[in-house]
Structure 1
Amino acid sequence: MRNACKSSSLALRRSLPRWSAVFVMVLLAAACTVGPDYRAPEPPLPDRLGPAPQQAAAAEAVSTDEALVLEQLAWWDEFDDPVLSDLIARGVRGNLDLEIAAARVAEARAVRRAQGGRLLPTVSAAASGGRQKASANGPGPLAELAEAGLASLENDLFTVGFDAAWELDLFGRVGRAREAAQARLEGVEELQRGVLLLVASEIAGAYVELRGAELRLELAERNLG
């Protein structure tokens, strides 16, 4: 029994240094923590929220494009009803589907311009200037010529470069890419017109139903009177 107690006490004494070493390592790791505790930043907020300049410019371009399409497809103006025209104009301005369609048209136009630009030459130019001063104690006759007034130790250096490159469309790859971009642009523009006609038709249909209900109500009131 005594031998068992002695062996257990020895095992406990042997394990204590190991646990103490682990505890010391944990304390050292905690002491080596870099930086303060994280705190969520509080970014400054403006008094009034509004779109970013890029978003505002894009929205202005989209609204301008929608206005041009409206002028081309404004069949509802034939009814000479200012209320209907105003409702359709307001519905078009606030329709997300039309904004997406107009953004796709702008993207297709940018792709077409990029493809067309590949048929044009690429021109680049570069210029540099500097001032060089030689040592009066350097080797060669320059120092003697400078001392005699026949040369100068200081010189201005200027370089100008001009490069031009033109990709020859030998097999028509660039031209076909431009034609594909043009066809995609025309397709996206037709989709935009289709969305506009759909929105305008829904608004006009609801307005006609409302006006018809008002007329039926007026006739019913007359009959009852």
Structure 2
Amino acid sequence: MTHPPKAVIFDCDGVLVDSEPITNDILHENLAQHGLHIPRDRIEELFVGGTIAGVGDTAREMGAALPDDWVDQIYAAIYARLRAGTPLVAEVLGVLDALDARGIAYAVGSNGSMDKMQITLGQNGLWDRFAGRMFSAHVHAKPKPEPDLYLLAAEQLGVAPADCVVVDDSPSGCIAAQRASIRCFGYAERSDPARLTPHGAIPVASMAELRAKLGV
């Protein structure tokens, strides 16, 4: 970018906190227990960036015999594992510090629940840091790939979408940014950026690279 944005809207899982490997491991184990054996890398391709309800729908279509209360059960299992320890994405605090130093606003827009964000962000000191600027599809708007979450975050920050940047690591999030007409950086530290670039995202492979491209 030639100049820094006026606001940055972050996805949560896989961008702020390194929670996706934990969640994907649980999904892999749980679905196998219900008769659906999906390779670990395929779990990521199918489900990262979606909703747990959507995971259940897809799993049933693929032949999993899930109980009616599966969504509640899997949330309980995921939350318990996340509470045991969810690390921050490497160097993300440096990005937030740099944005603060430049007076650039930021927010979170996630398909995950507020409870999940409280667990993952709370244990890392980010729950308070993002207070009043966390937007969940469970509460505030339609989930990604619809643009609603990112448009709402921009509105609440008081910044036009054209002056914002989204940082997301999933195709659904990059599509949401594209539909919102917000520039998107596709965070691909451990994944194939080719998953994100078809949806208009500019790939970044580290938080250091993100800082450089943000101009902070």
Q: TM-score, normalising length from structure 1?
A: 0.18
Query: Greater Rg, structure 1 or structure 2?
Result: 1
Q: TM-score, normalising length from structure 2?
A: 0.19
The higher relative CO (CA closer than 8 Å, separation ≥ 6) is in: 2
Greater helix proportion: 1
